Chain A
Amino acid sequence: MKKGIAALVAASTIFGAAAATADESAELTINGEIDIVTKTAAPAHLSDALDEVLSGWRFRSDQTQEMQMDDFDNPGMLGVEEGIEIWNTVDGSKGKSCADCHGEPEEMAGVKAVYPKWNDQAETVHTLQMAVNNCRENAMGAEPWKYDATAAINVEALLASVSRGMPVNVAIDGPVEAMWEMGKELYYTRTGQLEMSCANCHEDNYGNMIRADHLSQGQINGFPTYRLKNAKLNGVHSRFKGCVRDTRAHTYNPGSEEFIALELYVASRGNGLSVEGPSVRN
């Protein structure tokens, strides 16, 4: 009897270890045809801090990883389907849909990979959601969506899905440089009662456990992300908010200048990884 319990304990310990440690050597191919780069050399601006950059996919358990390998198994694709409906639906005073100007969503391949980027007319950095809202307001005469609203996330997921496999290539110099520097400053600034910066977890401790969770590098190449914990697609800014809240700080709001700068900086940390959204994470 005693021996039986010992064996049981041993078995559960092994299981626990297996469940906690993701297979960091696995490779990701979606639908058997889109090869995704989930590990590559760090971009030049990051070479002092990291040797290589890793997609969050590598830090997840086998089961979660598998969900992303087939579009049918990826619940994030439900959001993409809704995004396609929005894409083809006329909205606003000018009687236009996204499709009227842009054609098929597939023609937008590569767009997600370069955002956030500088917008000449607005003379500011635009995230993809801001660019979509710019279209809605000026080209369609429609109401802009609230930041990280479900419709906005679904369209962002659609635009991400058609760019999957393309390398993230966010510009960090020229007119965006000031915002990029601001984002970098935020990344390394300790906040909250716990006095933690983004870097404390995602640069110094990726691969280690934070309570029951396996810390990733905090890359955002897989956004929008379907999270199993809340069973919906999540936007980058909402995710930032969750992280900042966990340092017990007052957070910035989704759509705020701070989060736009942080999105630009964090996206640039993943330059070279593939666009992966909508990804599946826990």
Chain B
Amino acid sequence: MAKGAKPRVKVPKTAAAGEVVTLKTLISHKMESGQRKDKEGNLIPRSIINRFTCELNGKMVIDVTLEPAISTNPYVEFDAKVDEAGEFKFTWYDDDGDVYETTKPIAIA
């Protein structure tokens, strides 16, 4: 696991059926671009989150390709239409092969 990678998400607890809700996600990650050099002039190897996905009950809500120019601690905010109660699953894919996952339930009010 890349040092200090920790996902955070903010999902409303409830939604009306068919409501469009806003989801906020952030993962703490250094997002090393692979362009920088250290004090000795050696290239610091790239280490970024390269993909982020969100699913609701197994159905893809958003699938994002992240590139090296994205800043440290990438924050992604997006909307999702909620037709039925269930569980959001958020997944981040690290360059080093690690996968970070977190889930949040949502109920229909």
Instruction: Determine which of A72, A81, A231 lies in contact with B72 in the assembled complex, contact meaning CB atoms within 8 Å.
Output: A231
Name the residue among A72, A73, A231 with the largest chain B CB count within 10 angstroms: A72
> Would A78 and B28 be within 8 Å (CB), given that A72-B8, A72-B10 are in contact?
yes
A231/B73 in contact, CB under 8 A: yes
B10/A231 in contact, CB under 8 A: no
Main secondary structure of the interface of B (DSSP, over half): strand
Closest approach, in angstroms, between the C-beta of A89 and any C-beta of chain B? 15
B102 interfacial by beta-carbon distance below 8 Å: no
- Tell me which residues across on chain B come within 8 A of A73, comparing CB atoms: 24, 75
- Tell me which residues across on chain B come within 8 A of A235, comparing CB atoms: none
Instruction: Determine which of B6, B24, B28, B71 lies in contact with A72 in the assembled complex, contact meaning CB atoms within 8 Å.
Output: B24
Chain B, 23-65, CB within 8 A of any chain A CB: 24, 26, 28
- Tell me which residues across on chain A come within 8 A of B71, comparing CB atoms: 231
The distance in angstroms between the C-alpha atoms of A231 and B10, with both chains bound, is: 21
Q: How many residues of A contact B (CB 8 A)?
A: 6
The distance in angstroms between the C-alpha atoms of A72 and B27, with both chains bound, is: 11
- Tell me which residues across on chain B come within 8 A of A83, comparing CB atoms: none
Classify chain B's interface size: 10 to 19
The distance in angstroms between the C-alpha atoms of A78 and B6, with both chains bound, is: 10
The distance in angstroms between the C-alpha atoms of A75 and B71, with both chains bound, is: 12
Closest approach, in angstroms, between the C-beta of B82 and any C-beta of chain A? 19
The distance in angstroms between the C-alpha atoms of A78 and B26, with both chains bound, is: 10
Closest approach, in angstroms, between the C-beta of B87 and any C-beta of chain A? 20
The distance in angstroms between the C-alpha atoms of A73 and B76, with both chains bound, is: 10
The distance in angstroms between the C-alpha atoms of A72 and B76, with both chains bound, is: 12
Closest approach, in angstroms, between the C-beta of B18 and any C-beta of chain A? 25
B24/A78 in contact, CB under 8 A: no
The distance in angstroms between the C-alpha atoms of A78 and B5, with both chains bound, is: 11
Closest approach, in angstroms, between the C-beta of B32 and any C-beta of chain A? 12
- Tell me which residues across on chain A come within 8 A of B10, comparing CB atoms: 72
B24/A75 in contact, CB under 8 A: no
Closest approach, in angstroms, between the C-beta of B94 and any C-beta of chain A? 17
Closest approach, in angstroms, between the C-beta of A282 and any C-beta of chain B? 13
- Tell me which residues across on chain B come within 8 A of A231, comparing CB atoms: 71-73
Bitwise interface map of A from 79 to 96 toward B, beta carbon under 8 Å scored 1, else 0: 001000000000000000
B73/A72 in contact, CB under 8 A: no
- Tell me which residues across on chain B come within 8 A of A81, comparing CB atoms: 6
Closest 7 CB pairs of A and B: A231-B72, A72-B10, A78-B28, A72-B24, A75-B73, A231-B71, A78-B73
15 inter-chain pairs at a CB distance below 8 angstroms, sorted by A residue, are A72-B8, A72-B10, A72-B24, A72-B26, A73-B24, A73-B75, A75-B26, A75-B73, A75-B75, A78-B28, A78-B73, A81-B6, A231-B71, A231-B72, A231-B73
